[in-house]
A and B are shown apart, each in its own frame.
Chain A
């Protein structure tokens, strides 16, 4: 991990209020593993507002060009500031951070289950796995069709997918969780990675537990430092001798879904 001032190659709208930022950073491209993130200062260098860095999952990498990208939704003044950055500007960031997950599929196939912006880390897993010649399937659910551009990215990667939207404007109408058991055989044949809102993960946990199927969840939590010193971003996890609090930025962001306790 390093602190870098890296050049922005593009910062374009990906959907309403959603942007994809491409950053030139050989260090990140060379070292990043699936599930890892970068921690970005979301204000101009002479300002301290917002004070804390913000973590962003690495969305994609283009090794040939030493470029990686992040996907973000404008939600507060930090992401508003980022959305106003232009090609040629720099971002101050540290990374890659977090423990990389190995999408080494024991079963040979990967199933990625995503919800909303939770697709960001899944996209990188899909890229890495597809590059290694693994079969990747995606099940994803959204409120509406604001992330429709993602479908184009998945098509280019040659990934099989099924989309669901609550308002019916993209794919099938409904919630992704209502359809994960549509094909139980598929679930058993795949290594499963999931990322999305807590409500979605809770349902997934319950449904998969009933079928006795394992999955890896990529979690998000507000972070203080992102490098493992402050113990701020912990999640509650079941352990043999009770419960423990583990850091999303250090032991995570990937956890065994069945071990996470969502209060």
Chain B
């Protein structure tokens, strides 16, 4: 019986003319608080720069949104090299938020991003809530060009031993509050897997006015050269990303999403459309594509097409169907 049904589906697909097939195109749009995206795929901060490089490989406006690398008030040189080390099924990085500063972004990169046409989520970073506020102030004039601001509260490469803001929910609250008080566009708080308080941090972010949580940032990790006894990263420790952290990211997504505090943008080791579905079933409203962008330069487009095909095949007409559908 199953076999026959499968055959019928195949034949049917072949017979459907182009127009009819496109009329069956599933609704891929998602909503995250006030943020509406045409599909749930968001390029993660730090893995897509401003999209300029990837737009050599595909039309990046097909993505739900692009998150910029994190910008700070002043330019940051970043950490000493080596900054990259591959580990089983993952990579460690200790970039240290190297960036040109928010003013250069607004003056030079924003125009290019607007031309590329993807929704822009601007990731920002500051050393304390005051600095976050100052960065937010710079954004005021261009806020119409961006769909949301993501607060990087979780980079493990700027403080000693991977500590970050989200180690302390009261700090999360202070920072979110500082930015929300300056900007009336949606604010997303990006959290870390390195502290055992995502629920408290998410609650703090919500109280201060954040509209979504993105998680996870990289997990603190390390690698050592046994010949020289030296760490393989210039900054000693770094952030682990890639398929190695996917199970951790999924668990954090599930644990936070079931609390129903804020919508979750889940990320960590997503490499194909099935990974996307896993995150959504675990509770994510949208997902981030990170390390995959460094390897499969056209991953965004490919995963989107695969997702659409899967929905058509399963006769599911709405991607939102999956969010939180986990059966326990």
Question: Which residues of A are interface residues toward B (Cβ below 8 A)?
Answer: 1-3, 41, 48-53, 94, 221-225, 227-236, 243-245, 263
B243 touches A48 (CB 8 A): yes
Q: How far is the CB of A228 from chain B (nearest CB, A)?
A: 5
CB contact list, B283-307 vs A, under 8 A = 291, 293-295, 297-298
Closest chain A residue to B232, Cβ basis: A222
Q: Are B83 and A232 in contact (CB under 8 A)?
A: yes
Known contacts A50-B86, A229-B48, A232-B93; is A221 also within 8 Å of B56 by CB?
no
Residue B104 at the chain A interface, CB threshold 8 Å: no
Contacts of B80 in A (CB 8 A): 236, 245, 263
Q: A230 contacts B81, CB within 8 Å?
A: no
CB pair A41 B46 closer than 8 Å: no
Asked if B312 is an interface residue, CB under 8 A from chain A, the answer is: no
**Which residue of B77, B82, B89 contacts A221 across the interface (Cβ within 8 Å)?**
B82
When C-beta atoms are compared, the residue in chain A nearest to B272 turns out to be A48
Query: Are B56 and A1 in touch, CB under 8 angstroms?
Result: yes
Q: Which residues of A contact B298 (CB under 8 A)?
A: 3
Beta-carbon contact of A234 and B98 below 8 Å: yes
Considering only residues 67-112 of chain B, those with a C-beta below 8 Å from chain A are 77-78, 80-86, 88-91, 93, 95, 98
A51: chain B residues at CB < 8 Å are: 86, 89-91, 242-243, 291, 295
- Shortest beta-carbon distance from A221 to chain B in Å: 7
Kindly state the separation between the CA atoms of A53 and B95 in the bound complex, as whole angstroms.
18
Overall SS of chain B's interface: loop
List residues of B whose CB falls within 8 A of some A CB. Answer: 46-49, 53-54, 56-57, 77-78, 80-86, 88-91, 93, 95, 98, 242-243, 271, 291, 293-295, 297-298
A28 to chain B, nearest CB (A): 15
Do A229 and B47 have beta carbons less than 8 Å apart? yes
User: In the bound complex, do residue B57 and residue A232 qualify as a contact, i.e. CB atoms below 8 Å apart?
Assistant: no
Contact between A229 and B293, CB atoms less than 8 A apart:
yes
Q: Are B95 and A230 in contact (CB under 8 A)?
A: yes
Complex contact B294–A245 (CB within 8 A): no
The answer, among A1, A224, A235, A236, for a CB contact under 8 Å with B294, is A224
| A contact residues around B82 at 8 Å (CB) | 221-222
Q: Is the CB of A230 within 8 A of B295?
A: no
Do the beta carbons of B93 and A224 come within 8 Å of each other?
Answer: yes
Complex CA–CA separation, A243 to B297 (angstroms): 31
Structural contact, A221 and B91, CB atoms closer than 8 A: no
Q: Contacts of A233 on B, CB cut-off 8 Å?
A: 81, 83-84
Judge whether A3 and B57 touch: CB under 8 Å: yes
- Report Cα–Cα, A244/B48, bound state, in Å: 21
Bound together, the chains give a CA A258 to CA B291 distance in angstroms of: 34
- Other A-B contacts than A48-B89, A232-B83, 17 sampled, CB-CB below 8 A, are A48-B243, A50-B86, A51-B90, A52-B91, A222-B82, A223-B84, A224-B83, A224-B93, A225-B294, A230-B47, A230-B93, A230-B95, A231-B95, A231-B98, A232-B84, A234-B78, A234-B81
- Hey, which chain A residues are within 8 Å of B84, CB to CB? 52, 222-224, 230, 232-233
Asked whether, in the complex, the Cβ of A3 is within 8 Å of the Cβ of B86, the reply is no
Q: How far is the CA of A37 from the CA of B288 in the complex (A)?
A: 29
> In chain B, what residue has the closest Cβ to A49?
B89
B53 interface neighbour in A48, A228, A245, A263, Cβ under 8 Å:
A228
Q: Closest CB-CB distance, A235 to chain B, in whole Å? A: 7
CB pair A224–B48 under 8 Å, yes or no, is no
The interface residues of chain A lying within 8 Å CB-to-CB of B49 are 228-229
Residues of A within 8 A of B77 (CB): 243-245
B90 contacts A235, C-beta separation under 8 Å: no
Give A54's nearest chain B residue, CB to CB: B86
In the complex, A2→B81 CA distance in Å?
28
Question: In the assembled complex, which residues on chain B have CB atoms less than 8 Å from the CB atom of A223?
Answer: 84
Q: Whole-angstrom distance from the CB of B4 to the nearest CB of chain A?
A: 29
Which one of A1, A52, A236 has the greatest number of beta carbons of chain B within 10 Å?
A52
Knowing A3-B297, A245-B78, A263-B80 touch, does A230 contact B46 (C-beta < 8 A)?
Answer: yes
What is the CA–CA distance of A49 and B294 in the complex, to the nearest angstrom? 14
Q: Given A48-B89, A51-B242, check contact A231 B293 (CB 8 Å).
A: no
Residue of A nearest to B97 (CB): A231
* Alpha-carbon distance A52/B294, docked complex (angstroms): 8
Q: Which B residue's beta carbon lies closest to that of A233?
A: B84
* Cβ-defined contact, A52 with B81, below 8 A: no
Q: What residues of chain A lie closer than 8 Å to B242, measured between beta carbons?
A: 51
Report Cα–Cα, A183/B89, bound state, in Å.
50
Known: A48-B243, A229-B49. A94 touches B78 (CB 8 A): no
Question: 6 closest A-B pairs (Cβ-Cβ)?
Answer: A232-B84, A225-B294, A229-B49, A227-B53, A224-B84, A231-B98
| CA distance in complex: A263, B234 (Å) | 11
Chain B positions within 8 Å of A235 at CB level = 81
Known: A51-B86, A222-B85, A224-B84. A229 touches B53 (CB 8 A): yes
- CB B236 to nearest CB in A, in angstroms, measures 15
Cα distance A231–B297 when bound, in Å?
16
Chain B residue at minimal CB-CB distance from A53: B295
Closest to B294 in A: A225
Residue of chain A at shortest CB distance from B86:
A52
